[in-house]
Structure 1
Amino acid sequence: MVLKLQNVTLYTGNGEKKVNTSIAIEGKTILAAGEEADRLQAGTVIDGTGKTVIPGLFDMHLHLGMDGVGDPFAQVAGDTPALSAYRHHVNAQKQLKSGVTSVRNLGSKWHIDLDYRNSIESGLMQGPSVYGSGQAIVMTGGHGYPFSTEADGEDGVRKAARETLKAGADVIKLMATGGVMTPGVDPGSPQLSENEMRAAVEEALHAGKTTAAHAQGTAGIRNAVRAGITTIEHGIFLDDETIELMIEHGTVLVPTLAAPYYIVQHAESGGIPAHAVKKAVDCFHVHRESFRKALSAGVKIAAGTDAGTPFNVHGDFAKELELMHEYGMNVKDIIVAATFQAAKALNVDQTVGTLEKGKAADFVILDEDPETDIRAFRQTHSVYKGGECVHESSNQLEPAIG
């Protein structure tokens, strides 16, 4: 049966906005959107006057095994595999209810994100589409080493990449620099070398998979870009030369603006390790300016939060979009970054990421238009995943009469 939602504002995800129009779905698929949908006859027609429809959102960087507590590394260290699996599910449900229908999980101990993905795909439980990296690959003692795979040298990293792909990873996560949360490492310091990362990139490409690099310092970012990494995570210290290199290579930036924001906001809470607070405070302003420079220069950007890091809780994807807007990105481009550009960076844009005929019926109904008020991303009325309504507010939409 065809379901048609009419009289809505529609953001397609590829930069277009249509007003007073329709979207029609049949089963798990979009049958039509825009003028073609306006003309379609449908078994059920719902009046969406005043509502805005956007594609299902992608959070391109999160950690389902972390809850956003002050010291998430300690939380991971104390978890059993079973408890971690339960965390993955609870946090994924929070994401889904907020309108995030696809997540890229970049680092889970024991590769639990891959098993969790499989449980959703098999129909065992409901959740967002999960694209997982399993355990990240780091140098010995590198950023995140307590819950990652340590490897050194081109041969060592290549073997680790192959083992991670064998486990079923959708994306290979590599640590190109130090980071904020790991004690004793400098966010600006390079870690895995260009050649080490290139070995992993080659293996991912052979398997038809993508790659992501945690890369905060300038030298490490350049190493990752030259190695052929698909996405740069964080990109805190970007200069003009590095930005030009990213544009030349078509590298996508996932800025995770919310991660340092929440650490700085809660610096006095006492729950965050002192070393992490100091590093986040030192990085905060330069991170914001790096994002602005990358945006102005035309770097491809996909939205990701790093949810699970201190006070950066699951289900608050809207904060990342609000920060992107505050730092200069317009609403249409924000929606593209959180939908089509994300799907393209994952090589799944042929089936998801935009509201087009034949694509999966993953979409979100908002109560307001975010171009009118950026806080509209928080006003989620309904979330559809594969044509099924998986979340709806108490104020349900009624079938149109006549």
Structure 2
Amino acid sequence: MPRLLTRAAGVLCLAASTATAQSVTRAFTGATLIDGTTRAPIANATLLVHDGRVLAAGPAASVRIPAEAQRVSLQGKVIVPGLINAHGHASSVANLATYAAYGVTTVYSLGDETAEVFAARDAQRRSAPQHARVFVAGPVLNPSSPDDARTQVAAVADRRVDIVKIRVDDNLGTSPKMKPEVYKAVIEAAHARGLRVAVHLYYLDDAKALLAAGADFIAHSVRDLPVDGAFVTALKGSGVCYSPTLMREVSTYVYESTPSFFADSLFLAHANREWMATVQQPARQEVTRTSRSAQRYKAQLPVAMQNLAALHRAGVPIAMGTDTGPLGRFQGYFELMELEMMVDAGMTPAEALRSATSVAARCLRVDRELGSLEPGKWADFVVLDASPLERIQNIRRQHAVFIGGEQLK
């Protein structure tokens, strides 16, 4: 499959060429730096930021701080790159701010965004935002024929989307599934325009067929069956990334009762209170308890987790994603829980963190600008009170969030 350039690369290159109104250099000192690569954490590090980008990062003894730099002491803290959600939904700039408040500084939205979010995507080309960066797919395509597929791809391409999104799923047998000749036409038309295709799926057979057809990003877990050797080999050989979205499954059944995380102070700091009230309605909880689909998703979550473990062991790149955005899928916080579930599935804390930083950035083709704290990249980072490599739950112990070197208010 040929390597395709995405429009996201062009967006970020333009951002790199845009001058800021005022030149600012800041030196963040004293923290332990986990830079998003496979390098070991650096104790007593200095992170030097100029005009929103990393100028240098390393041991304090090896980074020269200019005399004019503003010094910010982070003694005893831990710095990690801002988290990247490879599968989310924003709907508004306010929700992008919610993502960022929990340390998710980039969201790849896979479908149905508003004009406001498209405008935010365009504005981030000129300067660092005060909310999560966003890339967009536009409407999730649902063509009825190959000709319709080509027409719909042309329409989203004209909107300058960063990726194309399709659904190949029958919603547990309750709706028609996109036919192979149709999704093949979508993939062919998107590739002809230099666009990649992300796919929503559920079944192993569909995953195999879509991969063979040239799909570029698998945006959900295979949940019906354990992945077999043929699929593992094909997926690894293709270089296509896999986004498990385990918390999407949790969201289908967790509101049978009031979940324990509703008492977490970090969750409560930014949570959508209307959603909280809605999912705690007794009648709604009873519907969830008796829902056949919710119970099936619940029963098959272990299959999704086992498949994640098998693919990860085989060397398939895993990109953290959650499908947050719909009611009850709490943006920003669910990403933190996703990391914990990925560790429960068998990844180490370091591997899970990279899945939400450098690996996600590579999977989404934005790694020239994001995903690690290396010279030239945007200084998007989270300051923690303790290391997530020691205990992944420490990703919740957040002290501050910075985007483009500026602390979020």
TM-score tier (shorter): 0.7 to 0.9
One of 152, 155, 173 as aligned partner of 2:165 = 173
How many Å separate the matches in 2 of 1:49 and 1:282?
45
How many Å separate the matches in 2 of 1:34 and 1:46?
15
Q: Which residue of 2 aligns with 1:288?
A: 305
Q: Which residue of 2 aligns with 1:184?
A: 174
Q: Which residue of 2 aligns with 1:12?
A: 35
1:122 is displaced (CA, Å) by 6.0
Write the letter of the residue equivalent to 1:274: S
Write the letter of the residue equivalent to 2:302: H
Q: Which residue of 1 aligns with 2:222?
A: 236
Q: What SS does structure 2 have at the residue aligned with 1:178?
A: coil
1:115 is displaced (CA, Å) by 3.7
Q: Which residue of 2 aligns with 1:41?
A: 65
Asked whether 1:134 is paired with 2:138, we answer yes
One of 95, 99, 104 as aligned partner of 1:95 = 99
Residues 92-140 of structure 1 deviation map (CA, whole Å, 9 limit, x = unaligned): 11101111111011122666642443355567973211111111012xx
How many Å separate the matches in 1 of 2:374 and 2:235?
29
Write the letter of the residue equivalent to 1:280: Y
Q: Which residue of 2 aligns with 1:55?
A: 81
Q: Which residue of 2 aligns with 1:162?
A: 154
Deviates more, 1:24-33 or 1:242-251: 242-251
* Within-5 A mapping of 1:229-268: 229-237=215-223, 238-240=226-228, 241-267=230-256
Seen in structure 2, the aligned counterparts of structure 1 residues 298 and 154 have a Cα distance that, compared at 3 Å, is same
Seen in structure 2, the aligned counterparts of structure 1 residues 37 and 120 have a Cα distance that, compared at 3 Å, is farther
How many Å separate the matches in 2 of 1:124 and 1:371?
28
One of 379, 388, 398 as aligned partner of 2:406 = 388
Residues 123-177 of structure 1 deviation map (CA, whole Å, 9 limit, x = unaligned): 7973211111111012xxxxxxxxxxxx123222122111111122111001122
Seen in structure 2, the aligned counterparts of structure 1 residues 271 and 101 have a Cα distance that, compared at 3 Å, is farther
Write the letter of the residue equivalent to 1:357: P
How many Å separate the matches in 1 of 2:213 and 2:201?
12
Q: What SS does structure 2 have at the residue aligned with 1:266?
A: helix
How many Å separate the matches in 2 of 1:285 and 1:49?
41
Write the letter of the residue equivalent to 1:168: R
Q: Which residue of 1 aligns with 2:3?
A: none
How many Å separate the matches in 2 of 1:37 and 1:59?
34
Q: What SS does structure 2 have at the residue aligned with 1:175?
A: strand
How many Å separate the matches in 2 of 1:124 and 1:388?
9
Q: Which residue of 2 aligns with 1:319?
A: 337
1:57 is displaced (CA, Å) by 1.0
How many Å separate the matches in 1 of 2:376 and 2:63?
17
Q: Which residue of 1 aligns with 2:197?
A: 211
Asked whether 1:337 is paired with 2:355, we answer yes
Give 4+ residue runs of structure 1 displaced > 4 Å after superposition. Answer: 109-112, 119-125
One of 319, 323, 336 as aligned partner of 1:302 = 319
How many Å separate the matches in 1 of 2:144 and 2:314?
35
Seen in structure 2, the aligned counterparts of structure 1 residues 373 and 29 have a Cα distance that, compared at 3 Å, is same
Q: Which residue of 1 aligns with 2:207?
A: 221
| Contact 2:197–2:215 (Cα < 8 Å) also in 1 | yes
How many Å separate the matches in 1 of 2:365 and 2:190?
13
Q: What SS does structure 1 have at the residue aligned with 2:96?
A: helix
1:349 is displaced (CA, Å) by 0.8
| Contact 1:193–1:223 (Cα < 8 Å) also in 2 | no
| Contact 2:153–2:190 (Cα < 8 Å) also in 1 | yes
1:7 is displaced (CA, Å) by 2.2
Q: Which residue of 2 aligns with 1:365?
A: 383
Residues 215-274 of structure 1 deviation map (CA, whole Å, 9 limit, x = unaligned): 110111112211222211112235122222111111101000111123232235236493
Deviates more, 1:1-10 or 1:91-100: 1-10
How many Å separate the matches in 2 of 1:355 and 1:2?
16
Write the letter of the residue equivalent to 1:293: A
Q: What SS does structure 1 have at the residue aligned with 2:346?
A: coil
Seen in structure 2, the aligned counterparts of structure 1 residues 124 and 302 have a Cα distance that, compared at 3 Å, is closer
How many Å separate the matches in 1 of 2:89 and 2:63?
43
Write the letter of the residue equivalent to 2:187: V
Write the letter of the residue equivalent to 1:56: G
| Contact 1:59–1:338 (Cα < 8 Å) also in 2 | yes
The share of aligned pairs that are identical, in percent, is: 25
- Superposition TM-score, scaled by structure 1 size: 0.80
How many Å separate the matches in 1 of 2:128 and 2:232?
43
Give the superposed CA RMSD. Answer: 2.4
- Superposition TM-score, scaled by structure 2 size: 0.79
Q: Which residue of 2 aligns with 1:270?
A: 286
| Contact 1:23–1:37 (Cα < 8 Å) also in 2 | no
Q: Which residue of 2 aligns with 1:76?
A: none
Seen in structure 2, the aligned counterparts of structure 1 residues 136 and 314 have a Cα distance that, compared at 3 Å, is same
Gaps spanning 5+ residues in structure 1: where?
Answer: 66-87, 139-150, 392-402
Asked whether 1:375 is paired with 2:400, we answer no
Seen in structure 2, the aligned counterparts of structure 1 residues 96 and 349 have a Cα distance that, compared at 3 Å, is same
Seen in structure 2, the aligned counterparts of structure 1 residues 211 and 25 have a Cα distance that, compared at 3 Å, is same
One of 373, 377, 380 as aligned partner of 1:355 = 373
| Contact 2:82–2:381 (Cα < 8 Å) also in 1 | yes
| Contact 1:318–1:377 (Cα < 8 Å) also in 2 | yes
How many Å separate the matches in 2 of 1:224 and 1:383?
38
Write the letter of the residue equivalent to 1:25: V
| Contact 1:60–1:103 (Cα < 8 Å) also in 2 | yes
Gaps spanning 5+ residues in structure 2: where?
Answer: 1-23, 258-284
| Contact 2:246–2:338 (Cα < 8 Å) also in 1 | yes
